[in-house]
Structure 1
Amino acid sequence: MVSDQTYISDKEMIHELQLKGYGELEKEKLFLKSFESLYLLYADKLILRKGKKQINFDDLMGICQKNDSETLTKFLIYRDLKTRGYVVKDGFGFGSDFRVYERGQFGEKGAKFLIFGLNEGQQEKMGTLQKKIEQITQMGKEPIIAVIERRGEVIYYKINRMNFYENKTGLEELSQL
């Protein structure tokens, strides 16, 4: 681990992790996103060191949360998707947290789903939500909202494009009451 970035330099481990959709290869090192490192630590599949000091899950979570307040939300969604057997990669930006590939399709086809997370009770403006959905559907992907309940359970909602029309007739009827 260097700074807040995790990288793997062991060629055998790089190969194994890449086949499962982890990380990005740069100059013979596999760089992992924070949620990937957290998941591998959580699953006891990674021993992480910074210098000679071993870093545990809680230590890494604290480091990551200083840089990104959404770290826990991303980790909970990522962990849930990995547990369900999906290959998950970082999103494209514009509010999508993850690209999710259909089971058995990683490396053969592009991601089918783009997922963005919301914590239970978190407010999101409808215009912002609509813009995200339009961008995702224009890419030919299916938008999904992952809502994190207070207990940490993740619930997924497949969403479609929304249209809001001004209902002038209804407004006129309301004003007459």
Structure 2
Amino acid sequence: MVKALYIDGAILIPDFDEANSLHQDGYGSFKHRRLGLTPCEALYLLDRNRIEVYDERGVKLSFKELLRRLSPRGGLLDRLGGLIRNLLGRPSTSTSLWIRYLIYRDLRMKGYVVREEANSLLVYERGSYPRAPPSYEVYPLPEGMPQPIRRLMEALERAEEGGRTLKIAVVDRRGEVVYYTLREMDFSGRLDDPKDSPGG
């Protein structure tokens, strides 16, 4: 089992050989011969029994404890997400991280390599990482959480600029993930033939 260290909010794999093996599978980023894992990567690897995480004092962290320590406090999703956490019977923690983790886990279990971005997840086609760029950008969204159209349009523009397809990942109250493709459509064209119109 690979040993990981939780130090000041970061998860590091100190052994280079173990770190390199994980990195080749699409996990983490190297810094000074140490592999740094993102929160979702660390949670997933811990859940799959590929790593054990220890804090600065040498205490082994459970999944629940690592999730608690990695979760930011006080954001909008934290305040509005209590309902989802309670319905799922999950620990009281950051909904945004929990939602991202559920999506990350779902994609990894389906065989995709997933890299975390600030507000989204980049998804590589099976077998294409690291040779090809990501094909999809996945925007996480809890069910019932209103989203301004402006934010979705910004995500769409960012994805299209990177040559990726935008997928909206909606996590329902049972923790199941449903994916929707978001595309911009132009309805400004004129229909010359009434037979070409919808319902015509």
TM-score of the pair, normalised by structure 2: 0.77
Which deviates more from structure 2 when the two are superposed, residues 30-39 or residues 10-19?
10-19
Q: Tell me the number of residue pairs that the alignment of Structure 1 and Structure 2 aligns.
A: 162
State the alpha-carbon separation in 2 of the partners of residues 164 and 142 from structure 1. Answer: 20
SS in 1 for 2:51: coil
> What is the CA-CA distance between 1:11 and the residue it aligns to?
1.8
Question: Is residue 180 of structure 2 the alignment partner of residue 157 of structure 1?
Answer: yes
State the alpha-carbon separation in 2 of the partners of residues 43 and 163 from structure 1. Answer: 44
Q: CA RMSD in A?
A: 1.5
* Residues 114, 144 of structure 1: 8 Å contact kept: yes
Residue 66 of structure 2 corresponds to 60
Q: Which of 20, 23, 31 is equivalent to 1:15? A: 20
State the alpha-carbon separation in 2 of the partners of residues 104 and 41 from structure 1. Answer: 23
State the alpha-carbon separation in 2 of the partners of residues 164 and 117 from structure 1. Answer: 27
Residue 101 of structure 1 corresponds to 124
What residue ranges of structure 2 are gaps of 5+ in the alignment? 1-5, 76-93, 189-200
Q: Which of 1, 14, 39 is equivalent to 1:34? A: 39
SS in 2 for 1:66: coil
Question: Is residue 50 of structure 2 the alignment partner of residue 45 of structure 1?
Answer: yes
State the alpha-carbon separation in 2 of the partners of residues 26 and 104 from structure 1. Answer: 25
* Residues 139, 155 of structure 2: 8 Å contact kept: no
State the alpha-carbon separation in 1 of the partners of residues 124 and 22 from structure 2. Answer: 16
State the alpha-carbon separation in 2 of the partners of residues 13 and 142 from structure 1. Answer: 33
State the alpha-carbon separation in 1 of the partners of residues 181 and 21 from structure 2. Answer: 32
Residue 88 of structure 2 corresponds to none
Residue 160 of structure 2 corresponds to 137
* Residues 114, 124 of structure 2: 8 Å contact kept: yes
Which deviates more from structure 2 when the two are superposed, residues 110-119 or residues 10-19?
10-19
**1:79-107 per-position Cα deviation (integer Å, ceiling 9, x unaligned):** 0000000000112x4x3x11100000001
State the alpha-carbon separation in 2 of the partners of residues 134 and 39 from structure 1. Answer: 29
SS in 2 for 1:106: coil
State the alpha-carbon separation in 1 of the partners of residues 158 and 50 from structure 2. Answer: 35
State the alpha-carbon separation in 1 of the partners of residues 18 and 187 from structure 2. Answer: 50
